[in-house]
Amino acid sequence: FRSDYRTLVHPLASASMSKRGNADGDASKKEVKAIAVQQLPSTSLGFDSPGDALHGSWSSEKGKCSIGKDPVTARLSYMEPIGEGERIHGWLDAVAGEDKLWQGTLALLADGQGPWYGPSFGPAPEVVGDIRVRLLDTEKKSMQTQIRMKDEDTEWGQPTVFTLEGTETGPMAKPNLEKILPMTQQDPGDQEPEKETGEKKKVKRD
């Protein structure tokens, strides 16, 4: 069931697996290309925005996804599980000149890996494509997604319609900032020296 789920839920799931298997064989045939990097998240002020209408858990005939506010940047964030702990993640930005349309770059996150916030958080995850999300004007709250796979598609794929399951997005992945951000790591040179005990002071005076 798990293998079927990875193939049917999202075209990106099967594509990422096949790319791993063929990476060594195809390396000599491809020209050297610049490595795509997921766009860095900008910080949101956290005020109400049109993107709040997308918050929640969504389901379709192909699978499920969630959209919510990232706990670190307050940025609109897309997350879709594809099995074995792996997830597809993207930062969503409103498309200028469009109504109720958002777009972002999708990256593949390994099991236990949180979203990438920049170079301080280690190597950037593998970029697998782009996504755009449009909120639909329907009686039952719905949205549609379209995928454009990296190095394979030049046009957007067929839309997949999702309906809202609930407004709870569940806990969003969040890294341990104390172990990653340089400003939270204590410099050994900044540590306070141990205070001398009364006995040690007495010895010195003698």
Report the percentage of the chain scoring pLDDT > 90: 46
CB-based contacts of 9: which residues, under 8 Å, 6+ apart? 62, 63, 80, 81, 82, 83
Average pLDDT over all residues of the chain: 75
- Predicted local distance difference test score (pLDDT) of residue 26: 52
pLDDT of residue 138 exceeding 50, the answer is yes
Q: CA–CA separation, 115 vs 108, rounded Å? A: 9
Per-residue pLDDT for 201 more than 70? no
Residue 8 binned pLDDT confidence (cut-offs 50, 70, 90): very low
**185: pLDDT strictly greater than 50:** no
**pLDDT exceeds cutoff 50 at 59:** yes
Structure tokens belonging to residue 132: 């755009």
